[in-house]
Amino acid sequence: MQGRLGGTGKLVILPVDQGYEHGPARSFAPNPEAYDPHYHFQLALDAGLSAHAAPLGMIEASADSFAGQIPTILKVNSANSLAREKDAPSQAITGSVQDALRLGCSAIGYTIYPGSDAAFDMMTDFKELSEEAKAFGLAVVLWSYPRGGDISKSGETAIDIVAYAAHMAALAGAHIIKVKPPTAHLELAAAKKAYEANGIKIDTLADRINHVVQSCFNGRRIVVFSGGEAKDLDGLFAEIRQLRDGGANGSIIGRNTFQRAKPDAMAMLDTIIDIYKGKA
């Protein structure tokens, strides 16, 4: 119910965990104001966004100044690009449910890597964290990013793999599921047979988004899609329209937002919100 999309069933969330994942210069040097955690809170507020997601330190540095002004999602696990990732990518637990409660957060966020040789441990940790979060009335957001094991690079965004990862997130008890927009590639031979035999439409991005939403209990769970690497505005807006047309509940857009100067980011988010409202 927060922000300009409140009451529409749509969400636009600002996630800022890229400092862990990619390092400070790769994340914030294009827009040096973004080194300051307060910048992201204020940007999310000024743009009328639905929520802000960040790791422990960023929320701790800002929670007292922005208490109660916007729902926050504490990202409770993180990876980094210095670690070796091959067959068994994983993440360290870097925050807790108690941290989320202390900081006035509305939800916790967690990442699993379906396909990784470490995926079962990540799922087990998520079960324990989500059980505690739900006991205290916090929502649970699950980033479900297939990688590792035998999954190819193109398979990480293949429609059968993304739909499978989203479905696993729903089965694991997530309230909000975050996945990447899928391509038309089919990774698994057995899945390809099922898609072809049952005439599952995957030609357009909107078709594929519809199938991912269907895979999350036929739309009974909230599904949002990542923005990925920074891209030109025309490409971004075209993608958002396809997400909307496919029935996505919204977008969670980090680098495409905070790597732009604030006036440019505000204008971009204004258009994205209008797209989800059906006005653009």
Q: Which sequence positions are flagged as catalytic?
A: 178
Helix or strand (DSSP H, E) at 120: helix 119-135
Comparing CA positions, the residue from 17, 32, 5, 42 lying closest to residue 259 is: 32
Q: How many CB atoms lie within 10 A of CB 131?
A: 12
Our measurement of the distance from residue 185's CA atom to the centroid of its chain's CA atoms, rounded to an integer in Å, reads 21
Give all strands (DSSP E) within 17-157, no chain letters.
Answer: 51-54, 72-75, 77-78, 92-93, 107-112, 139-144
Q: What angle do CA 81, 86, 90 make, to 5 degrees?
A: 65
Length of the chain: 280
Amino acid (1-letter code) at residue 119: A
Our measurement of the distance from residue 178's CA atom to the centroid of its chain's CA atoms, rounded to an integer in Å, reads 4
Distance CA 126, CA 64 (A): 28
- 171 touches 164 (CB < 8 A): no
- 70 touches 44 (CB < 8 A): yes
Distance CA 193, CA 187 (A): 11
